[in-house]
């Protein structure tokens, strides 16, 4: 019988295993097929709380419902529809000027096929990140989150994520913030399930 990913993580890292035993999550995440929507949402959420991000994103989608571009909030505007929407109207839903530029740059590059979202599933992890960072406002962290949650890649760890660094500091008893070298020494053991390990780390912060 094949060992579950959580069981594997618990065996290779008893400290993480103790945290896993206290947390329940669905290990079987399915890829999010609407990659364009995921990337727009990731830009909206930058440097915002989950609540604020969800509110602005809902207003963003509703703007296109009210304009007649899409029928319901379950749908999502196409790149050309976003490009046609005025910056002023996008700002009114709560987006900063820079985020409006980022979203329109993404829409433009997808519309012109400079960014080919339908090919991402065929690319390696690093190729996906390299392909996405050509969009203004999308950096390595956003690329890594996209790999984790939209493509459901199983072995991703984001060294740039503050939440993950804080969780490791707390869980492993570091007095000061752990260095990248110290973090890598811990997370290398988690392969090939570093994405799942990351999800447990984030949830461990919720359980404080």
Walk me through the domains of the chain, giving residue ranges and CATH numbers.
5-29+157-206 (1.10.1670.40), 35-149 (1.10.340.30)
Query: 75-111 burial, b if ≥16 CB within 10 A, otherwise e?
Result: ebbbbebbeebeeeebeebbbeeebbbbbbbbbbbbb
3-class state of residue 28 by DSSP: coil
What was the pLDDT predicted at 1?
A: 66
Which runs of consecutive H residues, i.e. helices, occur in the chain?
5-12, 14-20, 35-45, 50-66, 79-84, 87-92, 97-111, 125-132, 140-149, 162-171, 180-187, 194-206
pTM of the entire predicted model: 0.88
Which residues does 67 contact at the CB level (< 8 Å), separation at least 6? Answer: 85
Q: Is 77 helix (H, G, I), strand (E, B) or coil?
A: coil
Relative orientation angle of helices 125-132 and 140-149, to the nearest 10 degrees: 130
Q: Which of 87, 113, 103 is nearest to 42 (CA)?
A: 103
Query: In a 10 Å sphere around its CB, with 0-12 CB exposed, 13-18 middle and 19+ buried, how is residue 74 labelled?
Result: exposed
Q: Which long-range contacts (CB under 8 A, 24 or more apart) does 121-130 make?
A: 121/31, 121/151, 125/153, 125/155, 125/156
Tens of pLDDT, residue by residue, the chain (208 residues): 678 999 999 999 999 999 999 998 887 777 778 999 999 999 998 888 888 999 999 999 999 999 999 999 899 999 999 999 999 999 999 999 999 999 999 999 999 999 999 999 999 999 999 999 999 999 999 999 999 999 999 999 999 998 999 999 999 999 999 999 999 999 999 999 999 999 999 999 876 5
Sign of torsion, CA 31 37 40 42?
Answer: negative
Give the single-character DSSP code of 26: -
- List Cβ neighbours of 179 (8 Å cut-off, separation of 6 or more): none
Give the single-character DSSP code of 141.
H
Which tokens belong to 35?
């990659």
């Amino acid at each position: 019988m094949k060992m579950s990913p959580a069981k594997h993580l618990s065996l290779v890292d008893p400290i993480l295993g103790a945290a896993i035993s206290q947390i329940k999550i669905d290990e079987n995440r399915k890829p999010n097929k609407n990659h364009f929507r995921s990337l727009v949402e990731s830009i909206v959420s930058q440097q915002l709380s989950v609540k604020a991000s969800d509110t602005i994103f809902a207003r963003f989608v509703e703007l296109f419902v009210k304009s007649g571009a899409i029928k319901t909030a379950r749908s999502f505007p196409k790149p050309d529809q976003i490009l046609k929407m005025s910056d002023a109207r996008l700002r009114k839903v709560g987006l900063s000027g820079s985020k409006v530029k980022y979203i329109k740059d993404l829409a433009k590059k997808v519309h012109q096929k400079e960014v080919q979202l339908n090919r991402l599933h065929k690319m390696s992890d690093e190729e996906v990140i390299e392909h996405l960072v050509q969009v203004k406002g999308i950096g390595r962290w956003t690329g890594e989150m996209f790999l984790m949650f939209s493509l459901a890649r199983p072995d991703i760890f984001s060294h740039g994520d503050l939440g993950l660094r804080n969780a490791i500091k707390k869980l492993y008893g570091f007095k000061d913030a752990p260095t990248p070298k110290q973090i890598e020494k811990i997370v290398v053991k988690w392969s090939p399930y570093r994405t799942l390990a990351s999800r447990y780390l984030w949830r461990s912060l919720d359980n404080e």
